[in-house]
Chains A and B, each alone.
Chain A
């Protein structure tokens, strides 16, 4: 069945299901790569998502398009997802803290506010 799209590009492509268009062939099962994005020199590379690619070079190329196109980017890393070592989710309980020990959580220290206030006061005192 030929495609009678209004889009001339689609018409030109002459898509034909019977010819096996869209079927997967060997080498089409690419590996996932994890993508890390850096928006400013000196900042950390932050995990932003994954990409499928046949090798690292093309993974970088694809990642540039997928993750570097819409926002400020100075660098991108890709790592084969298979090379990332991780804990299993069923071991999540290892990370749990009993309720009495919340003081261990860094978020327990609302110190940022105090630092900002100190900096602000410092600025004020200079005026």
Chain B
């Protein structure tokens, strides 16, 4: 059982660490000051969520310290989906990824609120407010830009089309799905994807963006099993650069 929960925790933590780092790459470069701050705040929240999950791994399952887990593992040990690894691109893509990924994360924690695994249920309740704000931020921008000018609409639609195969990769099933479901820890990636599709379709409709036909899309799987895009390793190098100068330093 503990292997199943550990894998779930790594999937959540690694994705939040990587998307949090990607989000932080906009710091100082956001399109306007407040948006720059908003994106950075959200990134900071996500790094906090990663830390919380690594801490559970450390205290409940005796895994390494959160810093060691974040900075010293091999690329193939990371269980993040490939979606979060992609470079930030232009703001349209980053916003679309924020929208698609954060809805999945928010729903995941919503499901985990009733998890039979206490520490995850407690965490899910604790960060509910942060997630609510991330969704408010994402939904608002998707609707403003989807309903904005011809150019903003076209750019958001293109971003959506490009992001979708990777977004579907979020829900790559792991080898412990059945175990997690039957033990009441987590209702599974399939269920999560169903709920997610419903939520995002609802917002995309309001934004007058058309949902691509996902039956014709092959999801970008692999990340959850350690197969990553070419973008992850350079990002990990950058992320752990300072840590690796002096791994024993205290801050």
Contact = CB atoms under 8 A, between A and B. Distances in A.
Interface in A1-50: 7-10, 12-13, 27
Contact of A66 (B25, B34, B137, B144): B34
Contacts of B133: 64
B229 interface: no
A119 interface: no
A69 B45 CA distance: 12
Q: How large is the interface on A (under 10, 10 to 19, 20 to 34, 35 or more residues)?
A: 10 to 19
Nearest to A26: B149
Contacts of B87: 12
Nearest to B37: A65
B212 interface: no
Main secondary structure of the interface of B (DSSP, over half): helix
A62 interface: yes
A69 to B, nearest CB: 6
A78 interface: no
B28 A9 contact: yes
B27 interface: yes
B40 to A, nearest CB: 9
Nearest to A13: B29
Contact of B137 (A8, A27, A61): A61
A8 B238 contact: yes
A10 B37 contact: no
B68 interface: no
Given A51-B34, A65-B37, 11 more contacts: A54-B144, A58-B140, A61-B34, A61-B136, A61-B137, A62-B34, A62-B35, A64-B38, A65-B41, A66-B34, A69-B37
5 contacts: A55-B144, A61-B137, A62-B34, A65-B34, A65-B37
Interface of B: 25-29, 34-35, 37-38, 41, 87, 133, 136-137, 140, 144, 149, 238
Interface of A: 7-10, 12-13, 27, 51, 53-55, 57-58, 61-62, 64-66, 69
